[in-house]
Amino acid sequence: MGIAIIGTGAIAEVHAEALLRAGRSISAVSGVDEEQVAKFADRFEVQTRYKNSAELLASDLVDSVIIATPSQYHAELAIAALECHKPVLCEVPISLDFLSFERVKKAAESSKAFAAVAQTLRYSEPYMRLKEMLLEQSPESMNILIRRLMLRQENIGWTGVRRTWVDSAVWHHGSHCFDLASWLLGSRKFNAQLYGGPKWSNGEVMEVNGVLRSNSGQTATVNVSYHSRISYNDVVVITESNTFEVSHGRLTCNGETLVSSADGNDSLVDAVGRQNFTFLRAVETGELSEIIQVDELEEVYRLLALVC
C-alpha cells in the first residue's frame, strides 16, 4: 500500500518520522517549494516527488494520503483526494469555515474512500486512559475544565518552526479542545455557548471561550488563548468520586499518578504515531471504528462557526 504526504513542513516531518518508525515507507511527496520537497524526500527516503498535489493524487503509486499543508489548503486537498477515491488523513482543522466542512463531508459521502481527521489528542495515552476510566465509572456528575493557553502572536508552531501562514485559535486549537470536550462527555449533541475575543492585528480571533452542557447535565468549559504569556495545556475532570488531571503527558486521579507518558511534545509525537497506525489499518482492512471520520465532527465545526 502506497501512502503519500502532501506538504513538507514541521508537522509533515512528524508524520514522516512516525511512519518510518512503524516500518512503513513513504511512496511519494509533494509541496510548493521544489527545494524543500527535495530536502524532505532525501531525509525520509521518498523516491517519488511531485511538483503539485494533483499529480500525486493521480499517481497509481499512491493509495492513501496524509495532508500536512497550511490550514487554508486542507479542505480543497481533502476533497481532491476523495474525488480520486483515495482515503485521506487530514491535519486539524479540516476546514476554516463550516461551508467548506460541509463540502468535505459531502465529498466523503460520495467517495469510495473515507476522510479521517487528525484529532490527535484522542490518540494520546493519558486521554485514552482517562476516557476508559470514565466509561468504566459512568459518573452521574461530571465537570470538565480544558485550558489551551499559549503565546502565538507570532507564527511559530509547537515544533518551534516559524510558519509562513497564520494559525487559527478558533479552528485549530478550538477544534482540538471542543472535540476533546465532546468526546469526554460522551455526547455529540449538547447545549453550548461559545464566545470569541476581538480580532487582533493579524485579522484573527485569538481567544475562544465556551461551555458545553450534555442532556444529562454534565458540563465542559473550554478556554483557548493565543495571548497568554504563561503556557497551560491541561484538562481537569471532576466527578462525584474522583478528580482527574492530565498535564504534561501525565494522568493523575486524586493526585495519584496513573499514566506518565513522554513529556511535552514527545507525548504528541507518540500520539501521531498511534493515530497514523490506526489510519493505515483502516485503509488496509476497511475497519473504520477507531478512526475519527469527518461526519463525527459536524456539531463541533457548526459551533466554531458561531465564533467567526
All structural domains of the chain = 3-120 (3.40.50.720), 121-262+294-305 (3.30.360.10)
How does pLDDT run across 156-205, given as a tens digit for each residue?
766 666 767 789 999 999 999 999 999 999 988 889 999 999 999 989 99
Phi, psi for 235 (deg, rounded to 5): -135, 130
Amino acid at 38: A
| pLDDT for residue 166 | 80
Give the Cα separation of 144 and 52 in Å (integer).
43
CB 144 within 8 A of CB 237: yes
Give the Cα separation of 191 and 185 in Å (integer).
12
Q: Is 254 exposed, middle or buried (0-12, 13-18, 19+ CB in 10 A)?
A: exposed
**Average pLDDT estimate for 68-97:** 97
**Average pLDDT estimate for 265-283:** 89
Q: Is 199 exposed, middle or buried (0-12, 13-18, 19+ CB in 10 A)?
A: exposed
Largest CA distance in the chain: 57
| pLDDT for residue 83 | 98
Amino acid at 43: R
Amino acid at 32: V
CB 86 within 8 A of CB 53: no
Indicate the pLDDT class of residue 155, thresholds 50, 70 and 90: confident
| pLDDT for residue 265 | 60
Cell of 262: 513522554
Tell me the pairing of strands 3-6 and 64-67.
parallel
DSSP letters for 68-118 = -S-GGGHHHHHHHHHHTT--EEEPSPS-SSHHHHHHHHHHHHHSSS-EEE-
CB 2 within 8 A of CB 61: yes
pLDDT over 80 at 291, yes or no: yes
CB 134 within 8 A of CB 142: yes
Indicate the range of 119-123, 125-129, 257-261, 293-297 predicted with least confidence: 257-261
pTM: 0.94
Cell of 75: 479542505
Cis status of the peptide bond prior to 93, with omega within 30 of 0: yes
Give the Cα separation of 294 and 101 in Å (integer).
8
Cell of 108: 466523503
pLDDT over 80 at 284, yes or no: yes
**Helix, strand, or coil (residue 208):** strand
Quickly tell me which residue has 465509572 as its cell: 137
Residues 6+ away with beta carbon under 8 Å from 196: 170, 205, 207, 208, 307, 308
Indicate the range of 80-84, 90-94, 138-142, 278-282 predicted with least confidence: 138-142
